[in-house]
Amino acid sequence: VRSRILLDAAKHEIDKKHSREGHTGFTNLFDRGFSETDKNFNFYVKNKLAATTSEQLYKSDLLDSRLSGNALYNLAILKKDYFSENQQIGDFTFIVGYKPIYDNFNNLTGIISTQTVFKQSEINQELTESLVYILGPYFAAVILLIFIVNFLSYRISNPILRLQKATEQLSLGNIDVQVRSSSKDEIGELVNSFNRMIRELKRSRAELQKAEREGAWRDIARQVAHEIKNPLTPMKLAMQHLFYAYTHGSNDFKSIIQTTNKLIIDQIETLNRIATEFSNFAKLPSRNYELLNMNEILDDVVRLMDSKGNIKLKLDPSLDKEFVLGDKDEVKRALINIIKNAVQAIDEVESAGSKGAVNIEGVRMNGYYSVKIKDNGVGMDDDTQQKLFEPYFSTKSSGMGLGLVITKKILDDMKAVINVQSSRSAGTEVVINFKISDKTAAVKFLVHDTKG
């Protein structure tokens, strides 16, 4: 670029001289005009040097007095307006620029050239220095900006990261976590709000735990009262049956006394066990799983509940050798709860003048011991059936609403399934399916449970 600018200026001077003096004035122009400047120019006619401002370089044979073949080809043949190339003398590398000179008839009359002599290393150094001067401040500004951004990001993100970790701890149940922050900006307000939330949560949790403890004790008291009430009902019925047999001079009075005595003693033992367990552990009796003969249990429960002779029991004799794994007292308690509800349902029908009956059947069904309890009592509507196993729900004014809840819990723990179908004025059918146990697996379970 530098050489092209110089050649354009030189060509302008040559064109003016050529118009006044012609071709013979070129040498005088180089001798008188360009020799006074520190720039070097060379004038070629065809491919021979005609005039130069650096005569010593050519006399010492450092430079060739002939025109470069590349320059002649590009300017004379290809008709280019400008051409440049690199040339070298030893370790020195320099750029030579060429410009064609035309007469008034557009004929090539000569070529003017100039050399820009620099070491390539100096050129590279100059370019490097220029880049450093230009890009240095930008790099410094970028580094400073990165430092400022990192500092501000740390100031902003660090409290948020601490909040995130505290939130994770809170989700794991740790409510003793606190976040520290000394900033007074919006982030600081957020941290303070989080800490206030934690304090309120701790206070609410303490109040909730207190309420839960009180509620748990109330539930336990209700449940224990209900469990104690269950044995009292058959005891009352048995005593009424005994008194009825005595007053009417029953022929098998002795047998009735023996049966009533056994039932009352069994229920007293259940009451004693409930009271002892509650006194020691403030909970219902622990379970004692064993292999149960459901035919025998159903027969015992029906004998206990059938004080009026309106309960009919039908058992499959082949099931005498089949067993169900469960707690004997709990299974009896569950069956008593359901049969008692059936008896109360037919009592309402009998009070209206109709004949009430409860039919109980024990059959095998797809690997299950199926107990079907069907009555022709008043029945239930859909809304009552949906709430049947909800705590404290009862259709009787004297009921506590825990009997069927406890029954459902007992059966669920045994992996038994209970289904209820009922409709108004058509009665209710309850089906309970107990899984018939494989004796070998049941024995292994009982042995493991005993060791545990």
Distance CA 261, CA 272 (A): 16
What pLDDT sits at residue 347?
Answer: 83
Structure tokens at 404: 């069927």
Q: Where in the chain is the domain with CATH 3.30.450.20?
A: 2-118
Q: What is the mean pLDDT of residues 207-229?
A: 75
Closest-CA residue to 263 (of 313, 307, 312) = 307
Ranges 38-47, 249-258, 292-301, 396-405, most confident: 292-301
List pLDDT tens digits, range 110-133: 898 887 754 445 555 666 777 777
**Is residue 396 predicted with pLDDT exceeding 60?**
yes
Structure tokens at 229: 């009430």
What pLDDT sits at residue 122?
Answer: 58
Percent of the chain with pLDDT over 90: 11
Q: What H or E segment, with its residue span, contains residue 213?
A: helix 186-247
Ranges 136-145, 283-292, 363-372, most confident: 363-372
List pLDDT tens digits, range 342-393: 888 888 777 777 788 899 999 999 889 999 999 988 888 888 888 888 876 7
Closest-CA residue to 80 (of 97, 99, 96, 67) = 99
Say if CB 336 and CB 307 are below 8 A apart.
no
387 φ/ψ angles, rounded to the nearest 5 degrees: -100, 10
List pLDDT tens digits, range 48-102: 888 888 777 777 777 888 888 898 899 888 988 889 888 877 777 778 889 998 8
What pLDDT sits at residue 229?
Answer: 78
What pLDDT sits at residue 281?
Answer: 44
Q: Which amino acid is present at 290?
A: E
Say if CB 43 and CB 110 are below 8 A apart.
yes
**Is residue 402 predicted with pLDDT exceeding 60?**
yes
**Is residue 28 predicted with pLDDT exceeding 90?**
no
294 φ/ψ angles, rounded to the nearest 5 degrees: -65, -30
Q: What is the mean pLDDT of residues 404-409?
A: 84
Task: Write the CB contacts of 416 (distance below 8 Å, at least 6 apart in sequence).
Answer: 326, 432, 433, 434, 435
Distance CA 25, CA 22 (A): 6
**Is residue 36 predicted with pLDDT exceeding 50?**
no
Confidence of residue 431 (pLDDT cuts 50, 70, 90): very high
User: Which residue's entry shows tokens 């410009």?
Assistant: 99
Here the contacts of 346-349 (C-beta below 8 Å, separation 24 or greater) are 346/310, 346/375, 346/376, 346/377, 347/377, 348/377, 348/378, 349/376, 349/377, 349/378
Neighbours of 330 (CB within 10 A): 21
Taking the CA atoms of the chain, what radius of gyration do you get in angstroms?
57
Range scoring the smallest mean pLDDT among 112-116, 244-248, 444-448: 444-448
Confidence of residue 30 (pLDDT cuts 50, 70, 90): low
**Is residue 425 predicted with pLDDT exceeding 70?**
yes
CATH of domain 2-118: 3.30.450.20
DSSP class of 436: B
E-state strands within 71-159: 83-89, 92-102, 108-118
Range scoring the smallest mean pLDDT among 210-214, 273-277, 353-357, 443-447: 443-447
The three-state secondary structure class of 49 is strand
Q: Where in the chain is the domain with CATH 3.30.565.10?
A: 287-452
What pLDDT sits at residue 417?
Answer: 93
Structure tokens at 133: 């001067």
Say if CB 305 and CB 339 are below 8 A apart.
yes
Range scoring the smallest mean pLDDT among 147-161, 307-321, 416-430: 147-161
Q: Which amino acid is present at 437?
A: S
List pLDDT tens digits, range 170-184: 777 777 777 777 667
List pLDDT tens digits, range 314-334: 988 888 888 999 999 889 989
Q: What CATH superfamily is the domain 287-452? A: Histidine kinase-like ATPase, C-terminal domain (3.30.565.10)
Say if CB 205 and CB 175 are below 8 A apart.
yes
